[in-house]
Amino acid sequence: MIDFKSPIGVADSGVGGLSVVRALRSELPHEDILYFGDTANCPYGNKTEEHLLMLSGNMLSFLEKRNAKCIALACNTTSALAPQLRMRIKTPIITIAECAANAVSELDVSAVGVIATKFTIAGGIYNRCIQSAAPGVAVYGIGSANLASLVERGAPDAEIDSEIRLCMDQLLKNAPLKDVILGCTHYPLVMSRFMACYPELNFIDPAPQQAIALRKHLQAEDLLAKPHRAKLTIFTTGDTEAFRAVCKENGFDDTYDMEFFHI
């Protein structure tokens, strides 16, 4: 049975959703989190819709069976599939792409850039969500085929920088942008590389908006956890030690109660 003690589920193709866990920890510090990182199948961004429905459907069912009271779909790529995914499970799903548009409505801008996976850009979810949250804002998108995989395998800065520059130079050719949304959860994990390559730009991590949306949902449903030392349980289809190392690099240290399982 779902109650306030039930965990929040977080699903992503790999380690990228840790940027969402970081935001959840800050917005909802008492919530237990069950995280599913499908590293064995990462990257999602170059796969077909049919394949993505199968993979993300499996992740969400896994989290639902473990009693998640709601699920943060931390994967922008599969956010576009939310209508089909919501028909497969009963647990409420809050997608990052749908929340990211709220960050744009808080900016006073006429144009915004989005860098994301090829699938996310091709599906136009950011265009649709921004048009509805901030009508009239022009959206310029660029898809990267490689950046999520480079982050997932912890590639050296030089490789990450070169992929960032390849995509961003292309994006900036089309419009003189100041604000760019990192529309793939892997990218905020290398925010420092984006800022080093383009110090004049404002890069937006949408994760805090998703965390706010989850808080509002849990408040409305009277499902907020009571204060206690919260636990982060990570299920990965990849290597647990590699996952643990990425957690450490991103500030998830011993102050967090963490457990890792290979599935």
Residue in this structure with the two tokens 């949408």, named with its chain if needed: 206
The nearer residue to ligand DGL, 6 or 79, going by C-beta atoms, is: 79
The nearer residue to ligand DGL, 141 or 230, going by C-beta atoms, is: 141
* Rounded-to-integer distance, Cα 207 and Cα 17, Å: 9
Contact letters (x/-) for ligand DGL, 104-123, by CB under 6 A? -------------x--x---
The nearer residue to ligand DGL, 10 or 223, going by C-beta atoms, is: 10
Of residues 7, 9, 37, 43, which one binds ligand DGL by CB under 6 A?
43
The nearer residue to ligand DGL, 43 or 113, going by C-beta atoms, is: 43
99 catalytic residue (yes or no): no
Under the criterion CB under 6 A, does residue 238 sit at the interface with ligand DGL? no
Alpha helices, H only, the chain: 18-27, 49-65, 76-79, 82-88, 96-105, 118-123, 125-133, 147-152, 157-174, 191-197, 207-220, 240-249
The nearer residue to ligand DGL, 69 or 186, going by C-beta atoms, is: 186
Under the criterion CB under 6 A, does residue 44 sit at the interface with ligand DGL? yes
Closest distance of CB 89 from ligand DGL, Å = 19
Contact letters (x/-) for ligand DGL, 181-210, by CB under 6 A? ---xxx------------------------
Under the criterion CB under 6 A, does residue 99 sit at the interface with ligand DGL? no
Sign of the alpha-carbon torsion through 88, 94, 100, 105? positive
Closest distance of CB 110 from ligand DGL, Å = 26
Distance in angstroms between the alpha carbons of the first and the last residue of the chain? 24
From the list 36-44, 171-179, 192-200, 225-233, the region that binds ligand DGL by CB under 6 A is 36-44
- CB proximity list for 100: less than 8 A, separation 6 or greater: 76, 126, 129, 181, 183, 204, 206, 209, 210
The active-site residue out of 75, 99, 129, 197 is: 75
Please, are residues 10 and 75 in contact by the beta-carbon 8 Å criterion?
Answer: no
Sign of the alpha-carbon torsion through 78, 251, 207, 8? positive
The active-site residue out of 42, 99, 184, 197 is: 184
Task: Give the bridge partners for 37, in sequence order.
Answer: 12, 236
Q: Which residue is nearest to ligand DGL (CB)?
A: 45
Residue in this structure with the two tokens 């509805």, named with its chain if needed: 132
**Can you read off the two tokens belonging to residue 26?**
């800050």
- CB proximity list for 173: less than 8 A, separation 6 or greater: none
Binding residues for ligand DGL restricted to 5-34, rule: CB under 6 A: 12-13, 16
Q: What is the DSSP letter of 185?
A: T
75 catalytic residue (yes or no): yes
From the list 57-65, 75-83, 128-136, 239-247, the region that binds ligand DGL by CB under 6 A is 75-83
Please, are residues 47 and 57 in contact by the beta-carbon 8 Å criterion?
Answer: no
Task: Provide the annotated active-site residues.
Answer: 75, 184
Give the footprint of ligand DGL on this chain (CB under 6 A): 12-13, 16, 42-45, 75-77, 117, 120, 148, 184-186
